[in-house]
A and B are shown apart, each in its own frame.
Chain A
Amino acid sequence: MKRIGRNLMVAVLLAATSSIATAADTIKVGILHSLSGTMAISETTLKDTILMMVEEQNAAGGLLGKKLEAVVVDPASNWPLFAEKARELIAKEKVDVVFGCWTSVSRKSVLPVFEELNSLLFYPVQYEGEESSKNVFYTGAAPNQQAIPAVDYLMNDIGAKRWVLAGTDYVYPRTTNKILEAYLKAKGVKDDDIMISYTPFGHSDWQSIVADIKKFGNAGKKTAVVSTINGDANVPFYKELGNQGISAEDIPVIAFSVGEEELSGIDTGPLVGHLAAWNYFMSVDAEVNDDFIDGWLDFIDDEARVTNDPMEAHYIGFKMWVEAVRKAGTTSPSAVQDAIIGVAVPNLSGGIATMMPNHHITKPVLIGEIQDDGQFDIVWQTPGTVPGDAWSDFLPGSRDITADWQQPLSCGNYNVKTGKCSGQNYE
């Protein structure tokens, strides 16, 4: 029924469009990133990244003999509007693929639309996991590709024994900290050695929390802070750390949401030496990265701009989609979904990223120390790449669940114990 309805709708829309001929000549790429509102700071860059990739692809002769055409919409940092704009892109503009979203709530908002209309979304940001949709490709890091290796680094290389998990009070920090807490306890860390603290969005008065961290850190064991503090609340946090005389050498802070873009244009003095875990840094020493940076600075025409991890994720996602379309010989979402699994493309740190059956990709994990020029010095990295795990092994509910979108399983949350597939199983 659903399919008939959809085809009918498509037919009606096709008939309604006057430019059928031109539509057939191009492949449309939808871009669903906020260009206004609070998230515009981060998302505008990603829109430009895809525009650059489209331009490069066209310069290299397009795809399947056709030119690519980017369709940009602005969901304005408004979560319900994300769903509306997604529908507009797929149903009205009839794009073949969408690159978009930043926050988890915006992704959750568009998810039903993509599943209903069976289209493709490439999601480029690190997130809390616990999801695998047939229609979404997660090119950012799952917790096991960022948070867990970061904790391992602190534990093994820095010798941290006491842990502060500090985060902003919303879904990503809460889920990540839940996973980390379970992981630390599995590693034999006692309750007394873990301190968890949540703060509201945009928190600026960090005096008491920093004093608490200081007190917690003076109890005889090496202490480290794992920070999922969001966006601009970080600046007063690091400032207060500096003012209260806590240096990165005493208590290192490792952040999961502080990247080059966030550091550009702020006074990085108090942040020097603190850490961040990502899958890509602008300072990565690789030919392909230098070329990408040159291309980006050229495209954006501003020498002061930086590149960051979600941009790399979009770079990989776009290349993978192009590969999969070539392989399938068509842009039809179902064909691309089948073709893209196993597709391998170079990432920007000199390695290879492969699309896994659970719609996550393989990524290297890098730990960088913040430098005074707002760049990161890579101090540690995983020897190879780490495959993304959609369902964390450290949460009781999700331990037994796997995602595999290949036949015969074709399921995003398959419980190996009960042998049942629940939800998200359209078609």
Chain B
Amino acid sequence: MPVSPITIRSWLLASLAGLSCLMATGHTLAATAADIESEFARTVTSLYADSYDEKASIAASLAEMEHPRVDLILSALIEGNLYRERRTDVIVIARSLDDGGYHLTDAVTGEDMGDVGRRGARKISVNNSLRRQLKGLVAGRQLNVGSPSDRIAAIEDIVNAGDEELSDVLRARAEKENDPDVLEAISIALIIFDLDAVDEARKLAAVEASATNLHPLVRRKLTAIAADESEVDELRAAAKTSLAEITRRVERYQMVETLFFGLSLGSILVLAAIGLSITFGVMGVINMAHGELIMLGAYTTYVIQTVFPNALEYSLLLAIPAAFVVSGLVGIAIERGVIRFLYGRPLETLLATFGVSLILQQAVRTIFSPLNRAVATPEWMSGSLQVAQGLSITYNRLYIFIFALLVFAALQAILRRTRLGLEVRAVTQNRDMARAMGIRNTRVDIMTFGLGSGIAGVAGVALSQLTNVGPNLGQGYIVDSFMVVVFGGVGNLWGTLVAGLSLGIVNKFLEPEAGAVMAKILVLIFIILFIQKRPRGLFPQKGRAADG
């Protein structure tokens, strides 16, 4: 690399800094401080290297320096915020601006350098292996600071980086560490490092100790040892025993995991179908626009996030009532505008609502563009909950499962405990008789349809976290929703719950064996056969209501 003006510039800066130190403190101290500064500046500048290997070794030497800005620069590099200014070649930390340009800060001095345009700075690129090494380096530095949970995360990063030198950092930390959890994490990490040890006895001990360790790296390394012909027989046998134990545990967890996947898929089916269960089941209206009401709920989430960009963490909580109102009102408009003229004519209703669904899709295309909209996932819904080592449950699925149960409970409460629920049930059982008893069934129709539609909107909020928010979102769920309602028994909320969850579980247990496409087909065939046998579904309505 040729000596660029920047190198000279940073040396100058560094010597200036040294000069001021010189005046303040003493001769020797100042000289070393100036050395550190200039060494630091030179290392940072050389980060704009051609090969990733070069960058890695420069970063490693940077990590060994005692300079207050090292952590800042390393994390900027990991996050891809480290750039080189185009004209002056100064290494800078950049913050993206809305117009595509950047706001720059000098990486070495922290000096503000103002804004540049889109082409004003070139990024210092990192690739996967460099990123992993950098994380290890940062973790090694952070091991001595931060809270116990930060330290455990740092240890995990060190293990993943697999840098042998960092195992010494771990050992050093283990001597000073007081927190039992951190100590345990360190000992597990050290066992993993020992799996690569040169010393046979240490390696054997590590292999034997790994039998209960479900860390993916352990399994990978044990398999490698067991398959390696050059290893001692004793070691390979031990590796096989440990592997067998690990496999046994993993398989047990996999059962639990599949069950959870099934419940999660089921809860989504329930959410999507439960609104339909009310409009179709209770009112007998075949609403083909149900999927679009779900879509509107998802778009409401998007709008809420756009309007309140700073309240991302709470946006979903805010979106739930908003989506209920939006989809509910649109539902009422559909009921008033179309469906009420068609009560008792299911085929016409089907066609008319299908038309409505197309209108809603096109409206969304016109207003929001045909492109998918990005709905952000709040922090508390990302990642997974580690139930045990080797078994973790993703937060978004967990929350949505709980949410589905809450929505179900709330609906049940409305239908069983409120006056509206009583009236709805009365109208469902016998429309004319209910009218004769003084129930205003127009009002009941409006409220019921609004309720079912609103619930669809709420389902849309949940779906916005799982799938793409676009004009076609609803189409993907309409068939599934009808399937669940018909399978569960028309007009029965419990049926919808049981049907949704069981279809989800069946689907997920079939999927690993049959593949995603085939599993869907098999489930559909199963339902067709089931309906042949029991046309009224799992929980048929009995008595007079069934005659309606």
Contact = CB atoms under 8 A, between A and B. Distances in A.
A198 B383 contact: no
Given A169-B517, A243-B382, A243-B384, A250 B80 contact: no
Interface string B493-528: 000000000000000100110011100100000000
Contacts of A242: 382-383
A221 B222 CA distance: 11
B412 interface: no
Interface in B279-294: none
B127 A204 contact: no
Contacts of B118: 303
A197 B476 CA distance: 21
Given A198-B517, A236-B466, A377-B125, A218 B220 contact: yes
A41 B370 contact: yes
B224 A208 contact: no
B372 A266 contact: yes
A202 B472 CA distance: 10
A204 B383 contact: no
B403 interface: no
Interface in A23-75: 36, 38, 40-41
B96 interface: yes
A220 B126 CA distance: 26
Interface string B196-230: 00000000000000000000100111111001000
Contacts of A235: 372, 467-468
B79 interface: yes
A203 interface: yes
A204 B468 contact: yes
Given A267-B374, A377-B127, A197 B219 contact: no
Interface in B132-149: 132
B383 A243 contact: yes
Interface residues on B, range: 35 or more
Contacts, number: 139
A372 B80 contact: yes
A417 interface: no
Contact of A220 (B127, B227, B384, B520): B227
Contacts of B396: 243
Most buried by A among B126, B395, B467: B467
A249 interface: yes
A291 to B, nearest CB: 11
Given A252-B128, A377-B123, A219 B223 contact: yes
A303 B127 contact: no
Given A219-B223, A252-B128, A232 B261 contact: no
Contacts of B224: 220-221
A290 B383 CA distance: 38
Interface stretch (A88-96, A209-217, A311-319): A209-217
Contact of A245 (B264, B384, B520): B384
B128 A248 contact: yes
A198 B515 contact: yes
A207 B516 CA distance: 11
A206 B15 CA distance: 57
B508 A232 contact: no
Contact of A243 (B79, B219, B268, B395): B395
B508 A208 contact: yes
A369 interface: yes
Contacts of B122: 285
Contact of B219 (A41, A220, A266, A273): A220
Nearest to A272: B80
Contacts of A221: 220, 223-224
A304 interface: yes
A265 B371 contact: yes
B187 interface: no
Contacts of A36: 370
Contacts of B160: 249-250
B257 interface: yes
Interface string B71-88: 000000001100000000
B519 to A, nearest CB: 9
5 contacts: A220-B219, A250-B216, A267-B377, A377-B125, A377-B127
Given A220-B227, A265-B372, 10 more contacts: A207-B265, A209-B516, A232-B468, A243-B384, A250-B216, A252-B128, A267-B374, A267-B377, A290-B119, A378-B125
Interface of B: 52, 79-80, 96, 99-100, 118-119, 122-123, 125-129, 131-132, 160, 216, 219-224, 227, 250, 254, 257-258, 261, 264-265, 268, 370-374, 376-377, 382-384, 392, 394-397, 466-468, 470, 472, 476, 508, 511-512, 515-517, 520
